[in-house]
Amino acid sequence: MNFDIPTLMAAGALATAAVGLLVGIAWIADRDARALPWWAIGYLLLAVGIAGLLFGNAHPDGATFVLASFILTLSPTFMWAGARIFAYRRPQLAGMAIGPLVYLLSVAIQPAYHLPQLTMTASLGVVSVYLALAVRELYRQRAEKLGARWPLIGFLVIHAAVFSSARSKPRSTCSRLPAWSASTSSSASSISSSSST
């Protein structure tokens, strides 16, 4: 059975939204788990970004596509903040803003320099950096025995590697969706199932 990229993305958006809602409900049940709302927001933003890519597919330079890519760039910042809060550290709001601002800057200067891959490279690079920062935070907390830590670190490392390796690949000629969009939805579902344990 063959699935096209939009079908995989729709399934990934639905699964990621469901995980975001479940993590949010878990936070409502346990208000002491202060990291959960940050992770829930990250997953919900990821789901909205994936859905936005589906709807913005017809015009990859249009506002919907750019906004969806911005939301995708924003989502791992909340995961990084959640990893910091899990260790009773404050989220770095200024650090969370840098990556999305880099993406917006790339959108603004792309027409002037005629670099069609600039925004995709910026977005993928930003996502990779924030996922690597989340891995770093979780690894720093390794003294505390937690069974789900290592699978979560593994999934985040794989996810960051997929995003960083996709930076150098051009868009597929058979589809207007970026080459990294399918990995976003499939990896998000894997990561979310690991982090909620």
What confidence tens digit (pLDDT) does each residue in 77-127 have?
999 999 999 888 999 999 999 999 999 999 888 888 877 788 888 888 899
Yes or no: say if 71 and 49 are a contact pair by the CB < 8 Å rule.
Answer: yes
Token reading at 113 = 């320099």
pLDDT of residue 176: 46
DSSP string, 123-172: HHHHHHHHHHHHHHHHHHTTTS--TTHHHHHHHHHHHHHHHHHHTTSPPP
Mean pLDDT of 45-59: 84
pLDDT of residue 141: 84
Residue indicated by tokens 């909620």: 196
pTM above 0.85, yes or no: no
d(CA 42, CA 179): 21
